[in-house]
Amino acid sequence: MTLIKSISGIRGTIGGNVGDNLTPIDAVKFASAYGTWIRQQRQKENYRVVVGRDARISGEMIQNLVMNTLIGLGIDVIDLGLSTTPTVEIAVPMEHADGGIILTASHNPKQWNALKLLDNKGEFLNAAEGAKILDIAESNDMPFAEVDDLGQIHVNDAYIDIHIDEVLDMELVNTEAIEKANFKVVVDGVNSTGGIAIPLLLERLGVEAVKLYCEPNGHFPHNPEPLKEHLTDLSEAVVKHHADFGIVVDPDVDRLAFMDEKGEMFGEEYTLVACADYVLSKTNGNTVSNMSSTRALRDVTEKHGGSYEASAVGEVNVVNLMKKNNAVIGGEGNGGIIYPESHYGRDALVGVALFLSLLAEKKMSVSALRASYPNYFMSKKKIQLTPDLDVDALLVAMEKRYTEDASVEKLTTIDGVKIDFKNTWVHLRKSNTEPIIRIYTEAPSQKEADDLADHIIAEIKNIAKLS
C-alpha cells in the first residue's frame, strides 16, 4: 500500500494506516493545505474551488471529505459530481474560480485515488506552488473559518454538456464532414466517466456509438491503462460490430487510444501524431511532447514545416514548453492531446473530435491512416523500487556509462537520463506516480525496442549489485 506526495498532488491506495495510504485523514490534511494555499494567493472575501471526480468506488467518499474540508476553510465549492479531468479544467476559468481539484488516480487500478490540483487557470500547478502546498501540509498552519464564515456547496451537473459544446465550437472540428461519414465506433469507457462523456460527444457529432463498459460504477472490467494487452474485449467488439474503429479512454478521460477496423491498436503514441497531423495541415506552427514520446511527432511536424521540441515528463512541463514555443498542439505519447485553442490540458474529447475530423476529410480507413505515418515501435518496461535501491546514483552511473559512448547522438538529463542513438532511444526516469523506474525505448522494430530495454535493465541491475 502506498502514499505518494508530489508537486502535482497526493496519490495513494485506499485503506491502511495514516501517512502510508490515502486515508480520510490524509485526504483532509492535503485538502486543507490546498485550501490554505488558495486563500494565501489573494486576500479577498470570497473563494471558489471547482471539484469533480471520476467514477472509482472511493470517489464519493473522498470528494465529500475534500469538499467539506474546503467549506471548513470558508471556501465555496462548485460540485461537478461525476466529471472528467478536462471538464474540471475548463470549468475553473468559466466559474472564475480560484482553483480546482479532480479526485482521480488516472490510469491506476481501482484501489487507488488521488487529489489532482489546479490553479485559477484550470492548469496543473508548477513545481514551486506544489512544493508550497506540501510545506503547508507538514506545518499544520491551516486556520479554519469561524461558523458564520463557512463556505457553501453549489451543485452544477451541466459541465460535461458545456464541455461538449466547447469542443463542437472549435474551428477545426468539421462537424458536417463527420456527420456525413456515418461512422460507427465502439467506446470502452472502463466503467468510469468516459462512458458518459464520449458517447454524448459522438451522439452530438452524428456518430453511432456502441457502448462497451460505459456504466460509471467504478468497477473497472480490466486494467484501466489503455494498453493493447488490456483491450481484447474492445478488439473483439470492433470486429463483431463491423465498426470503423474503437475508442478507449482512461478513468478520468485525459488519455485516448484508438483501435482500427481490424481490431488492431492504432498505437497510443500515434493518437497525438494523428491529431497533430490534422491541426498542422490547417495551422502553421510548432509542436511539443515529452521526451518519452515517439519520434513520429517530430517527423510529422517537420513534414508540415514546423519545429518540434521535447520537454521533461509531466503535463505541466509540456504546457510550459508549449507556451514558450507557441506550439499549436502538443501533449504526451500516452494518448494525451493538449490543444491550446481549447485549453492547456490533456483532453480526450478534443482528441476524439480532431481525429474524427481528420478521418472524415481523408476518407480512408483507420488502418490506412496508421500506415501513412512513420513506423516506430516502443517498449515500456519498469523496475520496482526497493528501499535499498539508490535511484539517483543509478541514473548518474548510467549517464557516466554513456557519456563517452561514440554511438550516442545526444544525452539529456533534464528528466532522468535520455539517450538518443541514430535509430533508437532509451529514457530512464523515476516515476512521479508509482514506486518504479520507467524504462522506455523506441526502435524501428518491436524486437529491437524490447531488446534495447532488456539490455538497459540488465545494465541497471548489474550496477545496483556492484554499488
Collapsing DSSP states into helix, strand and coil, what is residue 440? Answer: strand
DSSP letters along 210-237, please? EEES---SS--SS-SS--GGG-HHHHHH
> Are the CB atoms for 185 and 244 separated by under 8 Å?
yes
d(CA 39, CA 230): 43
The alpha carbon of residue 311 and the mean position of all alpha carbons in its chain are separated, in whole angstroms, by 15
d(CA 275, CA 338): 10
Grid coordinates representing 327? 506550439
Torsions phi, psi for 368 (to 5 deg): -70, -40
Nearest to 92 by CA among 136, 40, 38: 38
d(CA 58, CA 112): 8
Residues 6+ apart with CB under 8 A from 217: 55, 191
- Burial environment of residue 196 by CB neighbours within 10 A (0 to 12, 13 to 18, 19 or more): buried
Collapsing DSSP states into helix, strand and coil, what is residue 461? Answer: helix
263: left (phi over 0), alpha (psi -120 to 50) or beta: left
d(CA 266, CA 66): 38
- Burial environment of residue 68 by CB neighbours within 10 A (0 to 12, 13 to 18, 19 or more): middle
- Which of 32, 106, 192, 235 is an active site residue? 106
Long-range CB pairs of 415-423 (<8 Å, 24+ gap) are 415/290, 415/291, 415/312, 415/313, 415/314, 415/317, 418/291, 418/310
d(CA 207, CA 397): 52
d(CA 148, CA 139): 26
Alpha helices in 265-390 (DSSP H): 268-282, 296-303, 315-325, 348-362, 366-371
Does 379 qualify as catalytic in the annotation?
Answer: no
Please identify every residue annotated as catalytic: 106
